[in-house]
């Protein structure tokens, strides 16, 4: 960072914690009827009538969950909210309020926090949320972000991972592997930039996978569409850690096995193209990559016609079966490959 640029920014210590909170609080406003009291007291107050309350939390660590070399702070704020509310949508519920806590080291300025809040504000506006509280604290190791999401749903509308039944259809929103390929592109260009500081990153033609990683969206549209046709999944989970691990989570909770079919996995053309460039199998990325924030859900066979006619952007990728049959990926030549919760590790992917 150039010295002149740093002098134009406001040191966090110069404001103090309470003045900082007051300054950040001016960037948000509450609009939800269920928000009784937002930022400004010892605790937020929310009130739901005739509904269950759902709570989920996410913790993001710099160097583990995000790299600020290529992640704009505004995008980081937006993505943190999306990751948090995706868990609430996966319960067939509606997120209403969020609490945001941030730990920052001395290399960050007030304007950096305001950039994060700008992303949070944009996400709140898109998804109809109120930011009602949180905390700020100094950090010795960089940046940490914690988000807690509060949602609500009628008791009879909540969907758990445990409701799947044998012969239920396995359905998936969107496509898989694009976010992971976006991350690999960013990591590749970071290495090039570090070796040649004047070389410009080569991102042209890969805008889609970059957006999937840097600014994903939660599937509120699918939840709303299912509600409109009165379709309630029997089980549901969000796909944030790779399809294979999420299928196994759902199978374990529902005490079922599963069959998913390789040729039915939705993978975008850009994902295949990037996979070819860096010699990574796109199907492996779809099965084990992360940050997709899609929804995996099950419906009875009897819902097939309704699903195909009235629900867009959803693919039927397989079905549940008896637990004794295990969970397998079926290839086009009818080979069965056992699903394993492998996941990706950043250092292994970079090797």
- To which H or E segment does residue 145 belong? strand 144-153
- Beta-carbon contacts of residue 340 (< 8 Å; ≥ 6 apart): 244, 248
Q: Count H helices, E strands: the chain?
A: 13, 13
Take residue 349 and report the two structure tokens written for it. 């992917």
Instruction: Identify whether the C-beta of residue 242 lies closer than 8 Å to the C-beta of residue 289.
Output: yes
CA 343 distance to own-chain centroid = 15
The Cα-based distances of 235 to 143, 162, 247, 307, 321 in angstroms read 35, 6, 11, 15, 14
User: In whole angstroms, what is the distance from residue 129 CA to residue 118 CA?
Assistant: 14
Report the chain (351 residues): mean pLDDT per 10 consecutive residues: 54 60 65 67 68 90 94 97 96 95 92 95 96 88 94 93 97 97 92 64 86 97 96 96 95 97 97 94 94 97 93 95 98 96 50 28
For residue 268 the two structure tokens come to: 């975008």
Cβ atoms within 10 A of the Cβ of 61, count?
15
Answer positive or negative: Cα dihedral of 259, 261, 264, 270: positive
* Count of other CB atoms within 10 angstroms of residue 276: 11
Question: Rounded to an integer, what distance in angstroms lies between the CA atom of residue 204 and that of residue 277?
Answer: 14
Helix (H), strand (E) at residue 83 = helix 73-89
Over residues 108-128, the pLDDT tens digits come to 998 999 999 999 999 999 999
Quickly list DSSP for 31-54. --TTEEE-BTBSS-EE--SSSEEE
Contact between 234 and 168 (Cβ < 8 Å):
yes
Q: Set out the domains of the chain in order of their start, with CATH numbers.
A: 3-155 (3.30.1330.10), 161-350 (3.90.650.10)
CA geometry: angle at 54 spanning 51 and 55, to 5°? 150
Per-residue pLDDT tens over the stretch 9-42: 777 566 555 565 566 566 667 777 776 666 555 5
The secondary structure of the chain in percent helix, strand, coil, rounded to multiples of 5, reads: 40, 25, 35
The model carries a pTM of: 0.87
H or E element in which residue 126 lies: helix 110-127
pLDDT score of 346: 43
In this structure, how many other beta carbons lie within 10 angstroms of the beta carbon of residue 40?
11
């Amino acid at each position: 960072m150039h010295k002149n640029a740093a002098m134009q920014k406001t040191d966090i210590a110069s404001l103090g914690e309470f003045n900082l909170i007051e300054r950040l609080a001016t960037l948000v406003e509450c609009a939800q009827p269920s928000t009784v009291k937002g930022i400004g007291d010892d605790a937020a107050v929310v009130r739901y009538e005739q509904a269950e309350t759902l709570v989920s939390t996410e913790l993001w660590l710099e160097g583990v969950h995000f790299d600020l070399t290529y992640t704009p702070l505004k995008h980081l704020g937006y993505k943190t909210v999306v990751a948090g509310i995706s868990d609430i949508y996966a319960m067939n519920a509606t997120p209403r309020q969020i609490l945001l806590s941030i730990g920052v080291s001395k290399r960050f300025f007030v304007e950096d926090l305001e950039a994060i809040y700008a992303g949070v504000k944009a996400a709140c506006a898109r998804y109809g949320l109120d930011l009602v509280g949180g905390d700020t604290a100094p950090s010795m190791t960089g940046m940490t972000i914690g988000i807690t999401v509060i949602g609500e749903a009628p008791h009879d509308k909540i969907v758990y991972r445990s409701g799947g039944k044998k012969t239920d259809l396995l359905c998936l929103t969107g496509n898989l592997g694009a976010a992971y390929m976006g991350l690999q592109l960013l990591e590749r260009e970071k290495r090039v930039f570090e070796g040649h500081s004047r070389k410009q990153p080569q991102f042209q033609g890969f805008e889609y996978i970059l957006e999937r990683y840097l600014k994903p969206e939660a599937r509120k549209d699918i939840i709303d569409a299912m509600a409109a046709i009165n379709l309630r999944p029997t089980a549901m989970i969000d796909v944030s850690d790779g399809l294979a691990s999420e299928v196994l989570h759902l199978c374990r909770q529902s005490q079922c096995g599963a069959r998913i079919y390789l040729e039915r996995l939705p993978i975008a053309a850009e994902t295949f193209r990037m996979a070819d460039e860096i010699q990574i199998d796109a199907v492996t990325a779809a099965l084990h990559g992360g940050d997709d924030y899609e929804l995996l859900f099950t419906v009875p066979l009897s819902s097939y016609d309704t699903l195909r006619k009235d629900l867009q952007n959803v693919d039927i990728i397989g079905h549940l079966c008896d637990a004794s049959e295990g969970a397998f990926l079926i290839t086009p030549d009818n080979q069965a490959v056992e699903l394993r919760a492998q996941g990706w590790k950043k250092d292994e992917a970079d090797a």
